[in-house]
């Protein structure tokens, strides 16, 4: 498949500037990564509403909570490891519990961080954020979805976590895409199996569907970009209509998006499910594509698991 690649992070930076123009209450915080997170754009446009707290992520979350308590729409950004990881308790106690209007935009999630290695490869953030009451959790698939999601969450009060990657990713959508929180999008119709993917695995899922088609298996493809609240209807419908599910995510297989889907299936429509994700191990240094390969985040692995899921149908 011929993909047009584009980095998703500027989708955040640009949307943030747009929001800054529209709403006086929008403020942004960063912890010494304003270039990489693209919040430097907001700094240039609205320096008086931008706060770089230095390398102090826990402090950043606390300050964000305080700003939100005064009615600001707060965007706090750093790498996923230092947001969901380092500042987990500050997010839990000071943002989620008091239900404050802080949007955490976490970049450089997942194994595709590459050379920095395990200390920087965040495979647990969807899990950590998903178990917090009040928290909305979103992992966009491309530049456009990032842009639209950032604009949308600003208009929706309450705590929110948006997960972005480091690398350039295939464009799935265009400017006409209407992102809705909690609504998955069906990208491909199919009858034999449904591949539910998130983030950069959405493009791999579409490629896998092509491969499966050549093998005579008709695969539906769904982008589950809101992990919480998860789109139950879309999952149950897929289970009823296709009878088998494969999930694919750049995240530890434990408690990520795949588990969120499994929970819905268990409660409403048990059908065979196979999960593609990072095994329960720490990552390592390497090139992004090599690592995707080494840790099973491949088209072939989705295809294999789809075939398995189909064969498990009763």
Residues marked as catalytic: 57
294 near another protein, rule: CB under 8 A: yes
210 binds, among ligand TPP, another protein, none (CB under 5 to 8 A by kind): none
Smaller CB distance to ligand TPP: residue 50 or 179? 50
Sign of CA dihedral 257, 245, 297, 277: positive
133 binds, among another protein, ligand TPP, none (CB under 5 to 8 A by kind): none
117 near another protein, rule: CB under 8 A: yes
Whose tokens are 């006409």? That residue is 176
Smaller CB distance to another protein: residue 56 or 171? 56
171 binds, among ligand TPP, another protein, none (CB under 5 to 8 A by kind): none
Shortest Cβ 28–another protein spacing (Å): 13
Smaller CB distance to ligand TPP: residue 277 or 283? 283
Smaller CB distance to another protein: residue 85 or 199? 85
Largest CA distance in the chain: 62
Give 24's DSSP letter.
T
Smaller CB distance to ligand TPP: residue 24 or 119? 119
User: In the complex, which residue's CB is closest to ligand TPP?
Assistant: 32
Q: Which span (28-36, 91-99, 123-131, 175-183) binds another protein, by CB under 8 A?
A: 28-36
Residues that bind ligand TPP (CB under 6 A): 32-33, 55, 57, 82, 86
Nearest 5°: phi and psi at 9? -60, -40
Residues 50-69 that bind another protein (CB under 8 A): 52-56, 58-59
Smaller CB distance to another protein: residue 17 or 202? 17
286 near another protein, rule: CB under 8 A: yes
Structure tokens at 9: 């992070």
Binds another protein by CB under 8 A, chosen from 7, 25, 69, 116: 116
Structure tokens at 187: 């990208």
> Rounded to an integer, what distance in angstroms lies between the CA atom of residue 25 and that of residue 155?
11
Sign of CA dihedral 232, 252, 11, 70: positive
Which DSSP string do the residues of 59-120 spell out, in sequence order? HHHHHHHHHHHTT-EEEEEEEHIIIIITTHHHHIIIIITTT--EEEEEESBSGGGGGG-GGG
81 near another protein, rule: CB under 8 A: yes
Shortest Cβ 19–another protein spacing (Å): 21
Strands 185-188 and 193-197: unpaired
| In contact, 20 and 26? CB cutoff 8 Å | yes
Shortest Cβ 108–ligand TPP spacing (Å): 9
Neighbours of 55 (CB within 10 A): 12
How many residues belong to the site for another protein (CB under 8 A)?
A: 31
Q: Quote the strand ranges of 134-287, DSSP E.
A: 136-138, 160-163, 168-170, 185-188, 193-197, 219-223, 226-228, 245-252, 273-278
Neighbours of 268 (CB within 10 A): 13
> Rounded to an integer, what distance in angstroms lies between the CA atom of residue 32 and that of residue 240?
48
75 near another protein, rule: CB under 8 A: no
Residues 127-146 that bind another protein (CB under 8 A): none
115 binds, among ligand TPP, another protein, none (CB under 5 to 8 A by kind): another protein
Whose tokens are 């308590």? That residue is 69
Shortest Cβ 197–ligand TPP spacing (Å): 29
Which DSSP string do the residues of 193-209 spell out, in sequence order? EEEEE-TTHHHHHHHHH
Binding site for another protein (CB under 8 A): 30, 32-36, 52-56, 58-59, 81-82, 85-86, 114-120, 284-287, 290-291, 294
């Amino acid at each position: 498949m011929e993909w047009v690649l584009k980095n998703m992070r500027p989708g955040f930076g640009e949307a943030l500037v747009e929001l800054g123009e529209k709403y006086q209450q929008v403020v942004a915080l960063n912890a010494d990564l304003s270039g990489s997170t693209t919040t430097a754009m907001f700094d240039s446009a609205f320096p008086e509403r931008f706060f770089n707290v230095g390398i102090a992520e826990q402090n950043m979350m606390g300050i964000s909570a305080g700003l939100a308590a005064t009615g600001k729409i707060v965007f706090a950004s750093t790498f996923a490891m230092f947001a969901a990881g380092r500042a987990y308790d500050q997010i839990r106690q000071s943002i989620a519990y008091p239900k404050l209007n802080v949007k955490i935009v976490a970049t450089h999630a997942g194994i595709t961080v590459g050379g920095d290695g395990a200390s920087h490869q965040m495979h647990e953030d969807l899990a950590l954020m998903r178990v917090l009451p009040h928290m909305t959790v979103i992992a966009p698939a491309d530049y456009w979805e990032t842009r639209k999601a950032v604009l949308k969450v600003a208009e929706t009060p309450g705590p929110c976590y948006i997960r972005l990657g480091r690398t350039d990713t295939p464009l799935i959508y265009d400017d006409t895409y209407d992102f809705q929180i909690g609504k998955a999008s069906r990208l491909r119709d199919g009858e034999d199996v449904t591949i539910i993917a998130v983030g950069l695995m959405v493009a791999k899922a579409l490629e896998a569907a092509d491969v499966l088609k050549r093998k005579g298996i008709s695969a539906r493809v769904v982008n589950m970009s809101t992990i919480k609240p998860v789109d139950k209807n879309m999952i149950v419908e897929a289970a009823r209509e296709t009878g088998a599910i494969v999930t694919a995510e750049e995240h530890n297989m434990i408690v990520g998006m795949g588990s969120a889907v499994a929970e819905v299936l268990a409660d409403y429509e048990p059908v065979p499910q196979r999960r593609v994700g990072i095994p329960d191990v720490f990552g390592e240094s390497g090139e992004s594509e090599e690592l995707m390969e080494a840790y099973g985040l491949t088209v072939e692995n989705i295809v294999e698991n789809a075939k398995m899921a189909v064969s498990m149908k009763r």
